[in-house]
Amino acid sequence: AIHLTIQGVEVTVEEGTTVLEAARKAGIRIPTLCYHPDLKPFGSCGLCVCKQEGSAKIIRACSAPAAEGMKIITHDNELFEVRKTILELVMSTHPASCLTCVRNNKCELQKLCVEYGIREQPFEERIPDLPKDKSTGTIVLDPSKCIKCGRCVQVCQSLQGVYALEFIGRGDSTLMTPAASLPLNDSPCIKCGQCATHCPVGAIYELDEGGTFLHEASKSEKVVAVQIAPAVRVALGEEFGFKAGEITTGKIYTALKRLGADYVFDTNFGADMTIMEEGSELVKRVSEGGVLPQLTSCCPGWIEYVTKYYPDLIENLSSAKSPMMMQGAITKTYWAEKMGIDPANVYSVAIMPCTAKKIEIKRDEHMKSSGYDDVDLVLTTRELARIIRQRGIDFASLPETEVDSPIGEYSGAGTIFGVTGGVMEAAIRTAYNAITGKDLSDPDIMTVRGRGEFRHGAIDVDGKATLRFGVVHGMANAKEVLDEIRNAKARGERAPYEFIEIMACRGGCIAGGGQPLGTDDEIRSKRTSGSYTDDKNCAKRCSHQNPSVQKIYSEFFEAPLSEKAHHLLHTSYKE
């Protein structure tokens, strides 16, 4: 352990802790703009400068390691002036259009300008006039607002291994841009939105389609059916004063009805359906010698990545559609038929933690399996929060309501999809039953849980089979295992796994690119606990035990992998 003094406060920290982290532990906040706990410090903004007693040297707290006996000064008049000048310089090239900015009230630069009492601009203003890039239809780049902190580039390159964003130019004329200065949509971008959640200002954000929803939902001929994703229920509350991880499912259903939804369904039901199909597909591949390992396909960020970087592994992807797409297809077929509603009038909307989901609904391999757009619109969690506020709904005081039947009820397995390892755990619960005819005595499968970036192991299925699994989260972490699969293939062998779950975002969808801002590991862990609590609170913990799932098979699909199931619940992917 290391003992040091920060601004007169004594603090003890572990070896390897930075001065910035030590200060936070001592209850002292050093301002930063480029630093983010998910990323390696790279000291570009200079705001975290501190002094050491008895030394003329200025240190950068974000990257300086804490050392025994250090006496750090984090705040004094001189440091205040230095930081204020840095902020004024940043402001001299940043448009002060706060009122119309998507980040108004949530901007880290704005907060610091308030804190440092910036009232005037002593430097000559040189606001760049650069066009917005809306080419992806989901993530908007506004380079004129970029403060060159470098977080997005680091997120894209190091966390995600994608290299869609880069810096060009030097010094004053540095510019954040899509790779090769192409439109973002022509770059390798996987639309995960992690750049947007890590941007401290309003330079990268989600395309806002809340208005489209309100407009369409007000049309009298439309029957509006909305589904909510697993991860939304443990995060939306943060926008309205609830703690991260607090489950607000019943209030979200109510809010959606007040916003114009005629029916509210749950993507968790779709997740149970995905497990039925994907689990059966796995058992079939194993027993009939199909392509293995089977890779999950519910994360559209990962689908963008694999189709761009590892097209030779497309054959390993499960053909089962994502829960969202299954739910959409079922809404416009089974449900519409049952209700006697013309599917042409059904407006199918999905509330997702994810910016890539806006692209998934437009992939022409599967967008119209019902004969219509299976999902018409995706709104992210942040967009939903915005329209709840716009319509004057006091979310915190809303009564809780129930989901609509019969394509809304879900099992605990469905709700943990939003957490890294959740799809694997849900699949094992049902595969165990398919292989042994019995249910697990304890559905909590701790071996697949955790935060490890690439977790793997083997599950013994009651002595009848062994399932070698892998779980990856954070796109860059997939490279190791994907190369292993690729190299094994090249040798005419196969990598030693049956099933691998891959989620593009660190922590899984609970930390998706469309979730409330400010995500760090502490918030990830709270949202994760919320998801496991929701699982525990469910009457049924396994997808195959969900009575509504059993009903839809007996009334409509007959069995997993049936012809009808193939048509509506499965897909294939192109490069």
Q: How far apart are CA 205 and CA 194, in angstroms?
A: 10
Phi first, then psi: what are they for 208, rounded to 5°?
-90, 115
Q: How far apart are CA 112 and CA 84, in angstroms?
A: 9
Site for ligand HC1 in 339-358 (CB under 6 A): 352-354, 357
The yes-or-no answer on residue 409 being catalytic is no
Regarding 542 and contact with ligand HC1 (CB under 6 A), the answer is: no
**Residue among 44 and 296 whose Cβ is closer to ligand HC1:** 296
Of positions 72, 79, 356, 500, contacts ligand SF4 by CB under 6 A: 356
The yes-or-no answer on residue 278 being catalytic is yes
Q: Is the peptide bond before 293 cis (omega within 30 degrees of 0)?
A: yes
User: Of 51, 148, 332, 357, which is the active-site residue?
Assistant: 357
| Min separation Cβ 294 and ligand HC1, Å | 15
Give the number of other Cβ atoms within 10 Å of residue 280's Cβ.
19
Q: Which does 301 bind (CB under 5 to 8 A by kind): ligand SF4, ligand HC1, none?
A: ligand SF4
The yes-or-no answer on residue 287 being catalytic is no
Q: How far apart are CA 223 and CA 342, in angstroms?
A: 9
> Looking at 67-75, 171-179, 318-326, 515-523, which segment touches ligand HC1 (CB under 6 A)?
318-326
354 closest CA partner among 212, 535, 226, 505: 505
Q: Which does 504 bind (CB under 5 to 8 A by kind): ligand SF4, ligand HC1, none?
A: ligand SF4
Q: Which residues of 181-190 are buried (b: 16+ CB within 10 A; e: fewer)?
A: eeebbebbbb
* Structure tokens given for 401: 């309501």
> Helices in 232-340 by DSSP H: which ranges?
249-258, 267-288, 300-309, 323-330, 336-339
User: Of 15, 115, 315, 365, which is the active-site residue?
Assistant: 365
**Residue among 47 and 419 whose Cβ is closer to ligand SF4:** 419
Regarding 267 and contact with ligand HC1 (CB under 6 A), the answer is: yes
379 closest CA partner among 231, 498, 206, 506: 206
- What CA–CA distances, in Å, run from 240 to 251, 294, 385, 395? 11, 40, 8, 7
Site for ligand SF4 in 292-311 (CB under 6 A): 299-302
The yes-or-no answer on residue 558 being catalytic is no
Is the CB of residue 72 less than 8 Å from the CB of residue 19? yes
* 399 secondary structure, DSSP code: P
* Structure tokens given for 464: 């009848």
Q: Which does 417 bind (CB under 5 to 8 A by kind): ligand SF4, ligand HC1, none?
A: ligand HC1
Site for ligand HC1 in 355-384 (CB under 6 A): 357
Task: Point out which residues pair with 457 in neighbouring strands.
Answer: 469
Residue 63 three-state SS: coil
The yes-or-no answer on residue 298 being catalytic is yes
Q: How far apart are CA 408 and CA 225, in angstroms?
A: 11
Regarding 523 and contact with ligand HC1 (CB under 6 A), the answer is: no
Site for ligand SF4 in 176-195 (CB under 6 A): 192
The yes-or-no answer on residue 281 being catalytic is yes
Q: How far apart are CA 164 and CA 444, in angstroms?
A: 38
**CA-based diameter of the chain, in Å?**
81
**Pairing of the two strands 165-168 and 223-228:** unpaired
> Looking at 9-17, 490-498, 506-514, 559-567, which segment touches ligand HC1 (CB under 6 A)?
506-514
**Residue among 72 and 140 whose Cβ is closer to ligand SF4:** 140
In sequence order, which residues have a C-beta less than 8 Å from that of residue 495 and are 6 or more positions away? 293, 481, 484, 485, 488
Regarding 571 and contact with ligand HC1 (CB under 6 A), the answer is: no
Q: Which does 192 bind (CB under 5 to 8 A by kind): ligand HC1, ligand SF4, none?
A: ligand SF4
> Looking at 26-34, 44-52, 251-259, 505-513, which segment touches ligand HC1 (CB under 6 A)?
505-513
367 closest CA partner among 314, 329, 323, 315: 329
Site for ligand SF4 in 476-505 (CB under 6 A): 503-505
411 closest CA partner among 473, 470, 503, 323: 323
**Residue among 91 and 229 whose Cβ is closer to ligand HC1:** 229
**Residue among 304 and 404 whose Cβ is closer to ligand SF4:** 304
Task: Return the residue nearest ligand SF4 (CB atom).
Answer: 512
Q: How far apart are CA 419 and CA 422, in angstroms?
A: 5
Q: Which does 323 bind (CB under 5 to 8 A by kind): ligand HC1, ligand SF4, none?
A: ligand HC1
Instruction: Give the contact letters, 253-292, x = binds to ligand SF4 (CB under 6 A), - = no.
Output: ----------------------------------------
Regarding 322 and contact with ligand HC1 (CB under 6 A), the answer is: yes
Active site residues: 278, 281, 298, 318, 357, 360, 365, 509
Binding site for ligand HC1 (CB under 6 A): 229-231, 267, 271, 298-299, 322-324, 352-354, 357, 417-418, 508-509, 512
Binding site for ligand SF4 (CB under 6 A): 192, 299-302, 353-354, 356, 503-505, 508-509, 512-513
